[in-house]
Amino acid sequence: AQTVTQSQPEMSVQEAETVTLSCTYDTSESDYYLFWYKQPPSRQMILVIRQEAYKQQNATENRFSVNFQKAAKSFSLKISDSQLGDAAMYFCAYRSALRGTASKLTFGTGTRLQVTL
Amino acid sequence: KAGVTQTPRYLIKTRGQQVTLSCSPISGHRSVSWYQQTPGQGLQFLFEYFSETQRNKGNFPGRFSGRQFSNSRSEMNVSTLELGDSALYLCASKFEAGNTGELFFGEGSRLTVL
């Protein structure tokens, strides 16, 4: 079974600064997807960024980028130029890419990000 | 385009009762998944439905069940409620079946069991 670990329960960053959220995972599969989701107080999970394991290039979405280290099974999220609206719970998630498997996501325990002025 | 809609948003039940939660996916999406979110266990996969068929089920007791209708709307039911069933229940939809495509989540149904 796959596991996802987020070792930082809480992080804080000043507005306009950069912060990195850590995530490690364990799997025996070679083909999979990794995601970062944001859950603001409204509770709706929003996809921030996704990475396909077969792609060596790190995914980037505007101010959000990842550092994907497949051998180390590490998948960190970097938020640049942090904004007040970035304050939320961030979840790292894994999904198998094997044909015939379901769309089940395995989530980490989350990191609560605070953004201060 | 309307997002994933879950009803009710909040509900309170007592132990032993049963509850039914509803999820309307994004128009055109045929896959619906359910997740339970609790402070202790985090986010856990309940089940996935595609074209009215359950595709996969998480490690939950038989008290948790679901179904999907021909219009892709889904319901989940929890019978004989226990205090530990208090949670945020999230529904997510996507167009394809299986492990491709992006999941879109609803805002959840907050269930409190007294």
Q: Each residue's pLDDT tens digit in chain B (114 positions)?
A: 679 999 999 999 999 999 999 999 999 999 999 999 999 899 999 999 998 999 889 999 999 999 999 999 999 999 999 999 999 999 999 987 666 678 899 999 999 999
Q: Which residues on chain A are in Cβ contact (under 8 Å) with B55?
A: 102-103
DSSP chain B: ----EEE-SEEEE-TT--EEEEEEPPTT--EEEEEEEETTTEEEEEEEEETTEEEEE-S--TTEEEEE-TTS-EEEEE-S--GGG-EEEEEEEESSSTT-S--EE---EEEEE-
Nearest to B99 among A50, A101, A108 (CB): A101
Nearest to A95 among B43, B99, B107 (CB): B99
User: In the predicted model, what is the mean pLDDT of residues A35-47?
Assistant: 92
CA separation for the pair B102, A33 (Å, rounded): 11
Kindly report, residue by residue over A45-86, the tens digit of the pLDDT.
999 999 999 988 999 999 999 999 999 999 999 999 999 999
